[in-house]
Amino acid sequence: MIHKIIQWVGSVASIVIHTMIFIGAFLFCFAGIKIEMILLVLTTIVSLEAIYLSLFIQMSVNLQAKKVEEIQKDIDNIQEDIEDIQQEDESLQSS
């Protein structure tokens, strides 16, 4: 789910929707709502969105780091197997 959110946030659709929200928010000026109130609400929403996005991104980074760690363990195991095979091959050739 985290990956889907992060992918969506980085998409063109997200940019378009955010732009429409901001334009829509400023259209409230024509409805008689004070610009100060609009800016206050927009600032609050953007701040909360930034907090959640940073949390989602950090969770994604942590998942990627865990995957890299698992791959490194697999590489280490393969390297050990290669060394064992080389030693066996050398002992067979010297016999």
**CA pair distance 92, 10, nearest whole angstrom:** 57
The answer to whether the CB of 25 falls within 8 A of the CB of 41 is yes
Among the listed residues 16, 22, 14, the one whose alpha carbon sits nearest the alpha carbon of residue 42: 22
Using pLDDT thresholds of 50, 70 and 90, give the confidence band for residue 95. low
Q: 52 φ, ψ to 5°? A: -65, -40
Condensed to tens digits (0 to 9), the pLDDT of residues 16-60 reads 998 999 899 889 988 999 999 999 999 999 999 899 888 888 888
pTM, rounded to two decimals: 0.62
**CA pair distance 38, 25, nearest whole angstrom:** 7
Tokens of 89: 């091959």
Confidence at residue 76, expressed as pLDDT on a 0 to 100 scale:
92
